[in-house]
Copies of this chain bind each other. A is one copy, B any other.
């Protein structure tokens, strides 16, 4: 049940069986949330970090004129906040993009686990570093890549992230968000996302249907998108 979270952290430190038990015990109440329901204000206790176990979620900022930017995408195994702190007041919102099953870990419990166990500390810091690196790579995409490259890069990123938690095979994975959501993630219009998808499809690189992404030629897709998995900070991630 807690597998995605623990499977992810295995990439960040050499965890023992006992370490994993401690991590499993951190995760307390479990909830199923409807899509589009606000996750952030929902902890049964106040100072609590949401962890996605199943489904996809995101964090976004609403701008003026209805413009929206999704600032982070949360997949199974992801912490929705840094593990040591919660914002005093929310300036952005966390919602499920699909129905989500969620666990909560209290800051206090995480803190004592971190203090007593250096491998857990290492794993959680690695996770935070990965989240930052993904943020920065997205900024580089949105700032400097073309629409086609951005869309292709997003497919590569999500595929790689799902592989980290054993939720993707070498050429396919779930795809649970629609074109509007892709556009708000990448700073594009939905119409243009649609055109870029068509190009990728017609180039024979991907198929997208029934909530499933199939990548027909990963190497070509990565080359086209300038996707280099080294920013994941995982050993051997390129051959993963």
What residues of chain A have their CB less than 8 Å away from a CB belonging to chain B?
59, 61, 63-64, 67-69, 71-72, 82, 84-85, 87-89, 91-92, 115, 121-122, 125-126, 128-129, 132-133, 135-140, 142-145, 186-187, 226, 230-231, 233
The answer to whether A69 and B143 have CB atoms under 8 Å apart is yes
Copies in the complex: 2
The answer to whether A139 and B140 have CB atoms under 8 Å apart is no
Tell me whether A233 and B61 are in contact in the complex, defined as CB-CB below 8 angstroms, given that A125-B82, A132-B82, A135-B135 are known contacts: no
Tell me whether A144 and B85 are in contact in the complex, defined as CB-CB below 8 angstroms, given that A91-B133, A139-B135, A226-B63 are known contacts: no
Residues of B within 8 A of A143 (CB): 69, 142, 186-187
The answer to whether A61 and B128 have CB atoms under 8 Å apart is no
The answer to whether A145 and B63 have CB atoms under 8 Å apart is yes
Complex CA distance for A68 and B145, rounded to whole angstroms: 10
Name 20 extra pairs, CB < 8 A, besides A69-B139, A143-B187. A59-B136, A63-B144, A69-B140, A69-B143, A72-B136, A82-B125, A82-B128, A82-B132, A84-B125, A85-B122, A87-B233, A91-B133, A91-B230, A91-B231, A92-B136, A132-B135, A135-B139, A142-B142, A142-B187, A143-B186
Tell me whether A82 and B129 are in contact in the complex, defined as CB-CB below 8 angstroms, given that A144-B187, A233-B87 are known contacts: yes
